[in-house]
Amino acid sequence: MRAFLYCRVSTKEQGTQDHYSLDNQEQRCRNYMTMKRWQCYKTRKDIASGKDDERPGFQELLTAVRDGKIDVVIVYRLDRLSRNVRDIYDFLDSIRESG
C-alpha cells in the first residue's frame, strides 16, 4: 500500500510544541505505516489553518488521490486533515470517486 502522510499545525508555535509538533505527528504516522508494512509515497506538512482546504500540502494530497497515486492517507488526528466536517466529507467523496 502506498501511503501519503499528512501533518498540519495552525501556527509556527504549534509546530514546535512536543505533543502536536509536526515532527511528532510525522513520527507517529510513520510508526503506524511501518506497523502496517505500507510504503511512504509522500509526506507533506502544512503550517496553516484547517478551516479550509487552501493549503499546499492538502492540495497535493487531493491531487495524489485524484491521480490514483496513493492507497491510504495517514494523519495523526482527523482534525489535522481539516477542522471543517463538510471538507472531510468532500475529501472522502473524492477518494470514493477516484477508487
Residue 73: CATH number of its domain: 3.40.50.1390
pLDDT band (50, 70, 90) for residue 37: very high
Note the pLDDT of residue 17. Answer: 73
Q: Which three cell numbers stand for residue 42?
A: 509522500
18 CB-side CA count, 13 A: 0
Note the pLDDT of residue 84. Answer: 78
For residue 52, CA distances in Å to 19, 30, 86 come to: 23, 25, 10
Note the pLDDT of residue 15. Answer: 66
Question: Between 38 and 19, whose confidence is greater?
Answer: 38
Task: Give the structural domain span for 31.
Answer: 2-98
- Mean of the per-residue pLDDT values of the chain: 89
**List of residues 6+ apart from 56 with CB closer than 8 A:** 44, 46
- For the stretch 38-64, pLDDT in tens is 999 999 999 998 888 889 999 999 999
H or E stretch covering 78: helix 78-81
For residue 53, CA distances in Å to 37, 40, 58 come to: 29, 22, 6
Q: How many domains does the chain have?
A: 1
